[in-house]
Chains A and B, each alone.
Chain A
Amino acid sequence: MQEIRTPQFKSNARAAIANPALQVELDRARTGFVAKRAAAAAGLPEFDALRDNARDIKNHVLGHLDLYLEAYEKKVTEAGGHVHWAESAEDARRIILDICRKAGAKTVTKGKSMVTEEIGLNDYLDENGVTPVETDLGEYIIQLRGETPSHIIAPAIHVNKDQVEADFRRVHTHLDESRDLSEPESLLNEARSVLRARFLAADVGITGANFLIAETGTSVIVTNEGNGDLTQILPRVHVAVATLEKIVPTLEDVSQLLRVLARSATGQELSVYTTFSTGPRRPEDPDGPEEYHVVLLDNGRSSMIGSQFQDMLRCIRCGACMNHCPVYQAVGGHAYGWVYPGPMGAVLTPSLVGVEKGGQLPNASTFCGRCEEVCPMRIPLPKMMRHWREREFERHLNPKTARWGLGLWTFFALRPRLYQFASRIGMGLMGRMGRRKGRFKSLPLAGGWTGTRDLPAPQGPTFQQLYAKGRKR
């Protein structure tokens, strides 16, 4: 599995905020994705009804997941494909390496897949003599940089073009040193020609799957580049890696989900390439893989069913929650310290790696609710982050100061009269102290706030006083 650096979220976040180059790229993302999604949603009157239906479809699937998986497996086998069941990341890695070895593979091309990041596939293949080549442009860039994706649909969103140029010059040493790589277009063309040779030479192609269709035994990938397609049609063997909850019942159901996926992700009506793959090539087919394998990964999902976190399994990985998250927008994806960043990562990571390691992430939220507002699958992300905070508290995992503060607040909150009295005295005092400037530059016990910004001084009566007055009126 990819190294877990989530416990260092706070220091990661501080470093990210102090990184000016990263902040430029995050600014760019903030304006791009949000406006495009809003326009796409506004352009389809049925968008919200589709979201409701998408949620209902996935809920139905999760309630019958065992049966749909069996139905799916039957159809894949009928079409001549193989289904492999992997309980853990380790199982999945071993199954995939085994397929590569049987195929005598030296290099494998890869379509973009977050699941293969989750299981740490690339390092494992490398260590075992199989060279993985990422083919999505963003994934290729971060593979050259020895980094991990910082966004689930835009993995290299933290990198600028000058950095890409430097990486290409460092790695593509067979090309003319004096070539012009100053424009994104020339960088794209170079990656296209370098990777074209890789596509044609690969022995095995590994992709993820956005959906698995039980009705037909089909895996579905959506891409804009076409790299996923070249990965799965050119090599002799195609391996699709997917987690259990990617199942949808029928072609009609997948059509519902496709209508919300791209619109929520990039604001496109549909991604450029939506590809439905069923089994290996047929006797009459002149191209396509001779072998077709699906690796079904559990890695903790089956235990989420029936729990407070089951709704998270509806996620279709569009990235809208992180695109709209003020915390993600400020710190980027790497600060989250594992595979899945943003609000979806804050809920999923503790489920997969444990709250002991992942507990920092559900705390990295203001509970503003924008993630839930834009989630095409209507996943109650803030509610589930709250569940994690409760578990963290129950297990005494948060720092002493936080527990002491919460304890103090509980003491007053359980005694309303005392609470009102104390807050009236406290606010009145602070109001008088801060009357001149209207704000505080520093306050005892509030260094966490005043260290980076002023605290406005309270003005007038407390909320409770105003509320009581309003009710009398």
Chain B
Amino acid sequence: MDEEIRRLINFMYKKLWELRKELEDVYEHSFSRVISPYTRGPIEPLHSMYEFPDEYVIVIDMPIADSSSITVQVGEDYLEIKAKIVVREAVESALHAEYRKEEAFYVKRVLLPLDADVSSMRYRISGGRLIINIPKKTIF
């Protein structure tokens, strides 16, 4: 019986997390409609999240990032990733914008699932992609 209740609670938490993520995506979508993608300022990198039986893997695409400047901060229920972009002419052309050195940087906030155990998180950088492995923990 306890096992059943535990499974039900886990299921509900998961659904709530999915709903929150969906709402954030809708917000992001609406927001990006009024802000030109070519506005100067921080750039939000693309990302993919994979769920495996024992861990989550988040891939953040940060081409031309200065890998020594990448920071990963843990918030209450999110990760905030920042990195500087190595600005050169080709990058400005790709972004259709002129950047001053201090302006060009990536910022990404990724909402974490409830069972993500960030205390055992590890990450690496490969070919301009930040790959974060976060093990799962048992909530109840």
Partners in one complex: no
